[in-house]
Structure formats: structure tokens, C-alpha cells
Amino acid sequence: MRKQRFLKASGLLALALLVMGAAGCGGKPEAGKTEGEAGKASDTSFDYSQAATLTMYNPTVSPDYYRDYVEPHIRKKFPNVKIEHINPSDPGNGLDSLIAAKKIPDIYLTTTTGIPALLERGLLADLEPVVKKHKIDLTVFEDPMLQSIRGISDKGELFGLPWTYGSTALFYNKEIFDRYGVAYPKSGMTWDSPELRDMVVKLNRPQDGIRGIMFNLGNMLGQNQLSLPFVDPKAEKALVQTEGFKRIIDTFAALYKAGGAVDPADFDASGQKAFITKRNVAIWAGNAVYPNLIDLEKKGNGFNWDIVSLPTFKEAPGIGTQYFGAVWAVSSANGNQEMAAHIISVLTSAEVQIEGGGLLRFPTLKEPAVKDSLGKGESFLQSKNMKALQINKIPAATKPTKYDSAASGILVSKAAEVIRDQKDSNTALREAAEEIDKKIAEIIGAK
């Protein structure tokens, strides 16, 4: 039943999070290891038995997922703490409504891209004072993840602890490869590699309705491997009219049309439905969609798929997509910030992340036992190349802005037009910059 609830919740998790995990301190040591070896010694300077009532705002996971995989860990470590869970989908629970009613939450489960909106409202506390006072060990986290969170602030403040990472991979349909006698892809390819291009050429079979490759442009551009930002946070102007974005878009367009056998008009900017539901795409570059694939398997409607590491650009060798994921944060209005900080530290501990890894939350800790937990809770994944997700290095994310969501949508739309042969990349990027600047002006004017 618990796994079924996870699958039902996966729609909320998959877009931003999937295959994600967490990190922190205060966790239970790994079996057979001392607390020092496990790197997770509890903070002896803090009283975990004290009583408190805190509110938690959670727009990221479903109430079922919160009840099954978040709340029990709080009850276990903090027996006298009561958490009032705020579901933002309930009437009157929008952030601005809560602020107006002076019901500001104490703890937030947000995303890296959601932090700027909270900061603009002055809602987040810098965790650094509590971390230093109680010697909370931050070295257990993957460095780029903490760097990404610190990079949101001009002063390098710590406005949260990383709980998940939205991983990406190169998915492939073995059944299509087998049908045409094409060798399976391998990890470690580059986007320019002849082997990848040859695969696509051999698998582009328009007479059979088969496409060689598609991309989830939202992922591939939004968390792009060249660490290119959409918007200048200080000037509040678009930054997309660059050689870097031209390089990415032209590379994907050339690959999609490799061999000249495919109709560009058929390109889907997401490609997820084509790969998973229609199953007429041999290779798909995109976000982790394992809950969907597992659900299909359990319903007897699965297919033979696997993954390899996402190809990289030769100018950024071995670099995957930027860090993007869910983050636990503490309210600046919270009168008990020390308690809240310890709660989110526990929720990002090794013990919690090992469970999360089994549930397909991508770990954010360096500890090998935590990293190895990924997918271990689902027997169906034991035959899959899940190790491929940890081959590429995760770069720190570019500084997010509150305009990124709008900018991303515009850029994805323009990139799709290039791939569909509706315009060249220089024109598309110029138009994207103009439209983004116009949208930014509208947002500023609406204040």
C-alpha cells in the first residue's frame, strides 16, 4: 500500500523531483559503523524531547506521501513535537493568503527555483547561525547542491537543506533497438559523438512511425549542462541570446533530423508521451520518470527499457544537468528556528535518505551507503542500469530568478520551432530574448 501511495503521488514528484534524496545530520549510524564513521552523530547540545507545535507548508509532495514518509521520522526523533501540515491546495492556503492572515508557516518544503519567491516575501531564515551553534555537519551533502542553494543569495546565505535532485538520463526502448538490430547505447557518450548520431540515423524509421530521438526540452534547457542562466538577476534582462544556447539548440536539432528521414514537424517538445505511451521513440533524453514506468509494469503494460548516462558536451566533459530539487527551509518568522532547523536536519539525514533512495528520491548525501540505496526498494529496477544516474558530475545551478519559469517556457517554445524547421536558431533566440524582456516588464509592472 505504501508503494501504491508513492505511485499516486508521483505526478507531484516527477516534474520537479523524481529520483531524489536528502542529506543532513542527526541520522541513525549505518549498521556496523560508529557514529563518527557514519558521519551522522546526533547533536548532543540540543534537547530533542522538548515540546513544540510547528506548521509545515508543503506544495511539493502529496498529503499521503507526507503522512507515510515524512511525518513518521519527525515523530520518531521529536516525540513531543506536533506538526500542523498545511496543504496549499486547500482553500485559503495560498502563501499570500496565509501572510495576510498572519499564519506564516514555520517550515517549508520548496524547490530551488521556488526559493526566490519566498525570499522576495522575506519568509526564509538563514540557517547558518543554528548550524554553527549546534555544529550541524554540512560536509555530508554533495557540494554542488549546497553551492546551488548558497548561490541564490548575494551573500551566500544558507536558506535551506537539499532533500532531492531531479536527475536526467538517456532512456532507450530496447524493443525498438532489437527490432532493427541496432546495438544499445553506452554511458559516457557526447552529444557530438558519431556513435550517437549513427544510432539515431539507423533508428529514424518514418515508414514505421519510429523516431530515433527526442528530448524533454524543459529539462535539457532549464537545467542545461553548460550552466547558462535565463535572466540576469540584477539587470532583470534576458540572457538567452548567446552562443551557448545556440550550441545546445543546434545540437539537438541536428540530432533529431540526422539522416534526413524524419519529419521535423512531428517533434514534441517534451517527448515523454511519445517514449512512454506511444512508444514510437527509440531514445529519449529527459527527467526521471521511473514511477510512471513502474506503474505501467505493475499494470502489465510495461516495455523493455533501460538507461545510460546523459551524453555531455565536449566543452563541459562529464557534466550532467544542474542541481534542481526539493529543499527544506525554515521561516524567518518562526519563533523556534532551532527546533525547525533540527527537524529539517533529521529529514535530510542518512537514515531518512536511505529510505528515500529506495522510494526513488535521488540522494543528496556523499555517503556511499546512501547513494547505493537508489532504487533498491523496487525489485523491478534491479535489472536496470541505475548506476548510470551517478556517472555525470552535478554542477551547481545558476542563480535562479522569479522570472525563470516564464523565461523557460518561452525559450522551450522557440527551441521547438528551430527543431521543427520553422526558423533558424539566431532568429529564435532573438525573439526569445525580446519576449522574455517583455514578460519581465509585465511582471514588474504588476507589482
Each residue's pLDDT tens digit, 308-363: 999 999 999 999 999 999 999 999 988 899 999 999 999 999 999 999 999 889 99
- d(CA 69, CA 359) in angstroms, rounded, equals 9
- d(CA 372, CA 99) in angstroms, rounded, equals 41
pLDDT in tens, 368-408: 999 999 988 888 898 999 999 999 999 999 999 999 999 99
Same domain, 293 and 179: yes
From the list 327, 314, 319, the residue with the least C-alpha distance to 400 is: 327
**Residue 292: CA count within 13 A, CB half-sphere:** 15
With beta carbons less than 8 A apart as the criterion, state whether 19 and 290 touch. yes
- d(CA 315, CA 308) in angstroms, rounded, equals 20
pLDDT value at position 14? 38
Same domain, 87 and 149: yes
- d(CA 124, CA 58) in angstroms, rounded, equals 14
Q: How far is CA 358 from CA 309, 354, 375, 378, 382, in A?
A: 20, 6, 5, 7, 11
Same domain, 362 and 408: no
Hey, is 306 helix, strand or coil?
Answer: strand
pLDDT value at position 43? 67
414 Cβ partners below 8 Å, 6+ apart? 423, 428, 429, 431, 432, 435
Same domain, 186 and 244: yes
- d(CA 269, CA 285) in angstroms, rounded, equals 11
Same domain, 148 and 177: no
In DSSP terms, 5 is beta-bridged to none
From the list 181, 177, 199, the residue with the least C-alpha distance to 189 is: 199
Same domain, 203 and 340: no
Q: Is residue 143 domain-resident?
A: yes
Same domain, 307 and 327: no
- d(CA 393, CA 142) in angstroms, rounded, equals 10
pLDDT in tens, 186-242: 999 999 999 999 999 999 998 999 999 999 999 999 999 999 999 999 999 999 999
Q: Is residue 395 domain-resident?
A: no
Q: Which amino acid is residue 49, in one-letter code?
A: S
174-177-180 Cα angle (round to 5): 145
Q: Is residue 396 domain-resident?
A: no
Q: What residue numbers bound the domain in which 257 lies? A: 169-319+403-445
Q: Is residue 398 domain-resident?
A: no
Q: What is the CATH number of the domain that holds 125?
A: 3.40.190.10
Q: How many domains does the chain have?
A: 2
CA pseudo-torsion sign 118, 122, 127, 128: positive
Same domain, 190 and 236: yes
Same domain, 30 and 137: yes
Q: Is residue 409 domain-resident?
A: yes
Same domain, 161 and 17: yes
Q: Is residue 42 domain-resident?
A: yes
Same domain, 230 and 345: no
pLDDT value at position 42? 57
238 Cβ partners below 8 Å, 6+ apart? 230, 231, 232, 407, 432, 433, 434, 436, 437, 440
Same domain, 197 and 305: yes
